[in-house]
Amino acid sequence: MYISRPASDVVALTDAVPVPGIGFLPVNAYVLYAREPVLIDTGLGASSPEFLEELWSLVEPSDLRWVYLTDPDHAESALEVLDAAPDALLVTTYLGMMLLSIEKRIPAERVFLLNPGEWLDVGDRRLGAFRLPVHHGPAATGLLDDLTGTYFSSDCFGAPMTTGDLVQSDDIGAVPSSDLVAGQRLWAAVDCPGLIYVDRDEFLTRLALLGSLDPPVVLGSHLPSAHHKTETLLDTLASAQEAPSYAAPDQATVRRMLHELEPTHA
């Protein structure tokens, strides 16, 4: 678990998933120190005990008021967080609540619905939910902090890193440009394979709407922090629609890759 501070009022909790044939995928959650503290996404399920230990070192359970899910599949430690934080509410969309109910029993009184276009008052600022130009599910939303302009972009700008060390970069500027472009385009093809079928003009309009927000900091679920680089991220996404479809490896190829990852013994 890597802890960093990508903005003055935000702490990131970063883990990584090594994916054979793809790279090292960052998995980020964030603590936003608003007047009513907010946890944004809930980490990697396989690292839940470590994640929870780090989380409660950053914010007291009794102080946490909101747990915002940018996507229902970012709810790995949601129940444990809600159990420990008695005054916290889980924030998701109506569709997100329906999808969550398939796998998790979350009491209705612990859920707060925030659909795209709506705002959540967290004491000293408002957080707005917006549809994303690239996503893999109907309940994914981006989150805009109207006090600082920070934008939490869910999976939209994800990119696997070529090494584990790059996952811990404090800014995407530390990632070689060619690696970042290739990683973003690969992630778009893997996470949103239907992107190639989206009307080109409509897609560019969606990107332009996000660009008009011009957030000073973009904090993604699967990407190191991006400071004053929104235009760069959007330009790469615009080109992702023209990238070749992802050809997933078959069973024999995966077995070979896993064998190559096994430690050798003298």
The segments of the chain whose pLDDT lies below 70 read 244-247, 261-266
Q: Do the domain assignments include residue 171? A: yes
Q: Do the domain assignments include residue 77? A: yes
- What is the reported pLDDT for 249? 74
**Cα 82 to Cα 65: distance, rounded to the nearest angstrom:** 10
Q: What is residue 182's three-state secondary structure?
A: helix
- What is the reported pLDDT for 135? 78
Q: Give the number of domains in the chain.
A: 1
Q: Do the domain assignments include residue 254? A: yes
- What is the reported pLDDT for 261? 66
Quote the domain boundaries for residue 192: 2-261
Q: Do the domain assignments include residue 83? A: yes
**Cα 54 to Cα 47: distance, rounded to the nearest angstrom:** 11
Asked whether the beta carbons of 113 and 94 are under 8 A apart, the reply is: yes
CATH number of the domain bearing residue 102? 3.60.15.10
Residue 162, CA distances (Å) to 29, 153, 248, 250 in order: 21, 21, 18, 21
Q: Do the domain assignments include residue 266? A: no
Residue 21, CA distances (Å) to 143, 165, 250, 253 in order: 31, 17, 11, 9
Q: Do the domain assignments include residue 13? A: yes
The dihedral through the CA atoms of 103, 72, 61, 26 has a sign that is: positive
Q: Do the domain assignments include residue 222? A: yes
Q: Do the domain assignments include residue 176? A: yes
Contacts of 105 (CB under 8 A, 6+ apart): 79
Q: What pTM did the predictor assign?
A: 0.90
What pLDDT, in 10s, does the model give residues 80-100?
A: 999 999 999 999 999 888 888
* Longest CA span, the chain: 60
**Cα 190 to Cα 170: distance, rounded to the nearest angstrom:** 25
